[in-house]
């Protein structure tokens, strides 16, 4: 049922035309119930995964390479579909959302990728603005909100620069600005610091923490042990297709990380526009502009 939200509250809108659902806003933001996912029948990735994320949490998702961290995030974003089980976003089963409702889901979710997925030849401003332009917002609103977002990530005044002239850390800040410009309830970050040196990685983590402080739920997938040690946070380990909470300070992470070699390389300047548009469920003239 739709009604007016109290001032300053989160406005979940999971169906086109439904601007606010008061009961949805009280539910855990994400519940995984018996989730199974495999890409090949003989290699299941998630096997009956159970996990609840409350609104306002900051949760690290970690685990060995290939344990399914990216898969889990992609299932939430409906880039992949569960084989069995349910993922409830504010009480609604993501797998059961109709195709026209998927963009509404994604409007509530910002996604930050390891390889940034910027368009190198575009300006910083345009790389962020695209997330709002595809929603058809007036250019005056887009200008204001992009300016605010760039300020939040420490890039005020850089809007006119081409993305390709920015450092890796700055490019990831642009990607974060793009993820938050729509004021999402949830940020999914998939190894967002994997291409950055250790100090930059810690700086970037601080930025995600600032965003979290403003009320956004953050799911941060990483196998960078250093980041997990920066501050006591909820840490969920994926292994054998299941999710387990790791008690802080019990040395459990030590065992997990033995033999792990840290982040993998990726193409920083990779052509990201097509994937971003595809991932965003963006269609229509703006999408053609991006892809073209
Ligand atoms: N689109 C796909 N098609 C086939 N197999 C896939 C696909 N995506 C992932 N996989 C496989 O599923 C498993 C889990 O991959 P995923 O990328 O989710 O793990 P991860 O924990 O994020 O790994 P990493 O830490 O190395 O990034 C891996 O064995 C991977 O090869």
- What's the gap in Å between 147 CA and the centre of ligand 1? 36
Does residue 203 fall inside a structural domain? yes
What is the domain range of residue 185?
Answer: 54-77+99-254+267-291
Lowest-pLDDT range, 26-35, 160-169, 181-190, 254-263?
A: 254-263
> Under a CB-based contact definition with an 8 Å cutoff, are residues 195 and 262 in contact?
no
What is the chain's mean pLDDT, rounded?
A: 82
Q: Which residue among 39, 113, 191 is best mutated to probe the pocket of ligand 1, counting the most ligand atoms within 8 A of its Cβ?
A: 39
How far is residue 78's CA from residue 160's CA, in Å, rounded to a whole number? Answer: 33
Specify burial of residue 185 (Cβ count, 10 A radius: 0-12, 13-18, 19+): buried
pLDDT, tens digit (0-9, with 9 covering 90-100), for 85-113 = 999 999 999 988 988 889 889 989 999 99
Does residue 192 fall inside a structural domain? yes
The pTM of the whole model exceeds 0.90: no
Nearest-atom number in ligand 1 for the CA of 67 is 21
pLDDT tier for residue 136 given thresholds of 50, 70 and 90: confident
Specify the pLDDT at position 253.
60
Region for 3 from its dihedrals, namely left if φ exceeds 0, alpha if ψ lies in -120 to 50, beta otherwise: beta
pLDDT tier for residue 15 given thresholds of 50, 70 and 90: very low
Q: Which residues line ligand 1 (CB under 6 A)?
A: 39, 45, 63, 65-71, 223
Specify the pLDDT at position 230.
85
Specify the pLDDT at position 187.
97
pLDDT tier for residue 271 given thresholds of 50, 70 and 90: very low
Does residue 3 fall inside a structural domain? no
- Name the closest-CA residue to atom 5, ligand 1: 39
Sheet with strand 217-221: strands edge to edge:
109-112, 186-190, 217-221, 58-62, 234-239, 242-246
Say if the ipTM goes beyond 0.95.
Answer: yes
Does residue 124 fall inside a structural domain? yes
- What's the gap in Å between 71 CA and the centre of ligand 1? 6
Nearest-atom number in ligand 1 for the CA of 71 is 18
Q: Which residue among 38, 66, 192, 238 is best mutated to probe the pocket of ligand 1, counting the most ligand atoms within 8 A of its Cβ?
A: 66
Does residue 40 fall inside a structural domain? no
Higher pLDDT, 1 or 268: 1
Does residue 87 fall inside a structural domain? no
Nearest-atom number in ligand 1 for the CA of 38 is 12
Sheet with strand 43-53: strands edge to edge:
43-53, 30-40, 84-89, 92-93
Give Cα 23 to chain centroid, integer Å.
24
Q: Which residue among 41, 46, 69 is best mutated to probe the pocket of ligand 1, counting the most ligand atoms within 8 A of its Cβ?
A: 69
Q: Tally the domains of the chain.
A: 1
Question: 163: domain CATH number?
Answer: 3.40.50.300
């Amino acid at each position: 049922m739709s009604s007016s939200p109290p001032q300053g509250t989160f406005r979940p809108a999971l169906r086109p035309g439904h601007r606010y659902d008061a009961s949805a806003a009280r539910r855990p933001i994400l519940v995984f119930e018996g989730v199974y996912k495999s890409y090949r029948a003989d290699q299941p990735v998630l096997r009956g995964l159970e996990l609840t994320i409350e609104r306002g949490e900051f949760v690290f998702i970690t685990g060995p390479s290939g344990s399914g961290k990216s898969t889990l995030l992609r299932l939430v974003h409906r880039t992949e579909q569960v084989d069995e089980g349910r993922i409830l976003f504010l009480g609604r089963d993501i797998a059961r959302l109709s195709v026209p409702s998927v963009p509404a889901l994604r409007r509530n979710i910002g996604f930050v990728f390891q390889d940034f997925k910027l368009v190198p030849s575009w300006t910083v401003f345009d790389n962020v603005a695209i997330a709002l332009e595809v929603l058809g917002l007036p250019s005056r609103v887009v200008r204001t909100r992009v300016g605010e977002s760039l300020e939040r990530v420490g890039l005020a005044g850089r809007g006119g620069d081409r993305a390709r002239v920015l450092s890796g850390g700055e490019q990831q800040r642009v990607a974060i600005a793009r993820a938050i410009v729509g004021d999402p309830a949830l940020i999914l970050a998939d190894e967002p610091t994997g291409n950055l040196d250790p100090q930059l990685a810690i700086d970037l983590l601080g930025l995600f923490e600032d965003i979290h402080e403003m009320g956004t739920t953050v799911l941060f997938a990483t196998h960078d042990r250093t980041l997990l040690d920066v501050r006591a946070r909820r840490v969920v380990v994926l292994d054998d297709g299941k999710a387990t909470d790791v008690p802080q300070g019990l040395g459990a992470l030590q065992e997990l990380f033995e033999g792990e070699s840290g982040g993998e390389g990726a193409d920083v300047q990779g052509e990201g526009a097509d994937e971003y548009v595809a991932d965003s469920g963006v269609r229509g003239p703006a999408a053609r502009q991006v892809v073209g």
